[in-house]
Structure 1
Amino acid sequence: MELEPVQTPHAPAAIGPYSQAVRTGDWLFVSGQIPLDPATGRLVEGGVEAQAERALRNLQAVVEAGGGRLENVVKVTLFLTDLGQFEAVNGVYARFFTHKPARAAVGVAALPRGAAVEVEAVARL
């Protein structure tokens, strides 16, 4: 099994020893994307909707760099520091994923860089 790291300047660089995504065969495994602006490396300002928008745009950039489109995503995991913001994030999410992939939403105590939301995905290319 060959593992091919995927990197793009259109999403934030990894903040640890991992790849933005790894492709193996026709599968793409996208690492968690937080709402960092790829141009500045800083957390975007605004509420949870702005953060969800940026995290999902980062995810989209990585999927596209791996040779896919959001329509190829089959599984998404959302991590939220406040599950009370679930509906707000859902509203943003629905604009990106009209095909409704499988999904889990997990409440967490904290995320890297103080983010309110993180999103990871698996795509079949």
Structure 2
Amino acid sequence: MNKEIVYTEQAPAPIGPYSQAVKVTATGMLFVSGQVAIDLAPLGDIKAETHQVMKNIGAILQAADMDFTNIVKSSIFVKDMNNFAAINEVYGTFFAFEPPARETVEVARLPKDVNVEISVIAVQ
């Protein structure tokens, strides 16, 4: 299997032993690691955090010569499911047509104590 590590300085650097994204060159599939709003959005403002997370994902997609229309699956992890509507409001602005498959899961804690983390799978 041939794979390509995708990295951009327009999104937070990994905080552990993982890549921002990995592209499987034979299939054109891109696996984007969970993105959070590290130091780039005020924590506690769920809309600002979600918007920054989506901007991070957009930067990684761009580094892989893709965009939001290439996303086929997303996973959203939230600290408080009461923020579901606010997250959806922001998230939805990035998918005007044919949104990807998705799940949203409430978790006890996220890295850096953020409130939302989103990972995606995209296909070229």
TM beyond 0.5: yes
Which consecutive unaligned segments of at least 5 residues does structure 1 have?
A: 37-41
Q: Which residue of 2 aligns with 1:52?
A: 50
Cα offset, 1:64, TM superposition: 1.0
User: Which of 42-51 and 64-73 deviates more?
Assistant: 42-51
Cα offset, 1:43, TM superposition: 4.8
Asked if 2 retains the 8 angstrom alpha-carbon contact of 1:43 and 1:113, the reply is no
SS for the counterpart of 2:84 is: helix
Cα separation, 2, equivalents of 1:92 and 1:103 = 15
Which consecutive unaligned segments of at least 5 residues does structure 2 have?
A: none
Normalising by structure 1, report the TM-score. 0.93
Q: Quote the RMSD (CA, aligned, Å).
A: 0.9
4+ long deviations beyond 6 Å: none
Q: Which residue of 2 aligns with 1:35?
A: 37
Number of paired residues? 120
CA deviation digits over 1:35-91, x for unaligned, max 9?
Answer: 12xxxxx25215101000001110111111111111000000000000010000000
1:83 is aligned with what amino acid? M
Aligned sequence identity (%): 42
Normalising by structure 2, report the TM-score. 0.93
